[in-house]
Amino acid sequence: MPDRYDSTFFALTIESGVAHLEMNRGDKANAMSPEFWADLPRLAGELGKDPSVRVVVLSGRGKHFSGGIDLAAFQNILGLTKAEPGRGAEALYELIRRFQAALTSLEDLRV
């Protein structure tokens, strides 16, 4: 698998035109950590450019598909919101926009 598909959050296999993108943190209920939000749009973009890929399947290893957002990873924004409400609100707004863009990357795939 080319380096462009390296990820600390996802495991990826491509076979017979099917790209299987698996969240690979079953021990943490596949909670969406900062690595998830960074790797998802990057991998989606790379898969979209790969002419051998005809379909992408997203799944989660372990007992759960996903436990949702890993809130522990984003405590600094909550602290900023309390200390400086305006800056905290702006940081939260930008974070939400980045999260939405990551999920939209799946919708934008050519497959």
pLDDT tens for 3-21 read 889 999 999 999 999 999 9
Take residue 37 and report the two structure tokens written for it: 């939000």
- What is the C-alpha to C-alpha distance for residues 28 and 77, in angstroms, rounded to an integer? 22
Shortest CA distance to 77 belongs to which of 61, 93, 57?
A: 93
pLDDT tens for 30-47 read 999 999 999 999 999 999
CATH architecture for residues 3-70+101-107: Alpha-Beta Complex (3.90)
